[in-house]
Amino acid sequence: NLTIQKIAAGEVIERPASIVKELIENSLDANSSNIVVEINNGGKSYIRVTDDGDGITDDDLDLAFERHSTSKLSTIDDIYNIISLGFRGEALASISNVSKVQVMTKTKDSLGGIHAVIEEGKVVSKDTVGCPKGTTMIVKDLFYNLPVRKKFLKSDLVEFNHVSDIVYKLALGNYNTSFKLIKDNKVILKTSNNNSLITNIYTILGKDIAKNLISISFEKDDFKLNGYISNNNLYRSNRSHQYLYINNRYINNNIITDAIERQYKSIIPINRFPVFTLFIEMNPGNLDVNIHPTKQEVKFVNQEEVINIISSTIRDSLNPSLV
Ligand code: ADP
Ligand code: MG
């Protein structure tokens, strides 16, 4: 039933930035080293994401746009051990129900590539094309079939700001993948895939921030914490540039953010906010990422322990720097 599909789609796809997020996460899941995001009109009329990842086989292509079809879980138990960014098999189905989608893809082993057109969640045409290994998704005319939703989209600039926000977050967290963001034919951001977080911070957040950071690291058993937090010299009067990643996934978690802030403010004398880029790696079995469809929220099995580790590591890293 198409109506039900459209309602369901609305929960995942709110605006162009939601599409960009899902497409980039698929590219990351497919082991891409280079990802290019191109958008026109804030992504409302045109989004193209090109990667050099694994590609999609001919057989899988028909399934990829069906709801709840994912190649990323083999058993239901896998849901408790998720390491890939996607697992619900919902994104492409949702996107292709609210916009016009075309895909070009080629795997390492196939001789030619495939070009397919998808309408209302169904592959309506497929032909062979020459293309490099990887996948290109083109998404046009968001909400062309849902005029009311379309009316609620904001100006090109506002929608672009949402897109760049998500691209910056994903680019910052994935410093072994290069990202390029192109807006109306103009390059806005270009990062390299040189495996250095601090280089990435320099490129994305700028020199002023990069030169005023203290590195943080902690490791015990299967729990790892590392990244950077701002030192005494960086003045911030708001919460901008606070980035937290858990098992390579960008996460919103007020409990952790508050704990970091409390610790920071107890050491840095004046009332200001920390800038941070922190990565937690932990046993996915101690984490529930399944509580929200867009997967930016998590629950910890042992929340208090996690908070304690973060607080004490930040305290130990910041204190010596002030001596
Ligand atoms: P999920 O990511 O939750 O599995 P999606 O709807 O986002 O669901 O994608 C469906 C499937 O399409 C994926 O499981 C994957 O097999 C395939 N796929 C989508 N995008 C890409 C890509 N860029 N490269 C390779 N495979 C992809
Ligand atoms: Mg996905």
pLDDT for 271: 76
Q: What domains sit in the chain, N to C, each tagged with a CATH number?
A: 2-190 (3.30.565.10), 207-322 (3.30.230.10)
3-class DSSP assignment, residue 181 = strand
Ligand 1 pocket check for 54: Cβ under 6 Å? yes
Ligand in nearest proximity to the CA of 49: 1
Interface predicted TM-score of the whole assembly (ipTM), two decimals:
0.99
Least confidently predicted of 34-43, 121-130, 276-285, 291-300? 291-300
Least confidently predicted of 58-62, 158-162, 168-172, 182-186: 58-62
Residues 273 and 63 sit within 8 Å (Cβ to Cβ):
no
Q: Ligand 2 mean position to 31 CA, how many Å?
A: 13
- Report residue 1's pLDDT band, with 50, 70 and 90 as the boundaries: very low
CB 175 within 8 A of CB 194: yes
| DSSP per residue, 74-142 | SSGGGGGG--SS--SS-HHHHHHHHSEEEEEEE-SS-SSEEEEEEETTEEEEEEEE---SEEEEEEEST
3-state secondary structure 226-291: EEEEECCCCCCCCCCCEEEEECCEECCCHHHHHHHHHHHHHHCCCCCCCCEEEEEECCHHHEECCC
What is the pTM (predicted TM-score) of this model?
0.91
CA of 57 to the centre of ligand 1 (A): 11
Residue with tokens 């796809």: 13
Residue 265 alpha carbon to ligand 1 centre in Å? 42
Tell me the average pLDDT of the chain.
Answer: 89
Over residues 270-285, the mean pLDDT reads 90
- Is the Cα dihedral 220, 205, 53, 79 positive or negative? positive
pLDDT at 114 over 50: yes
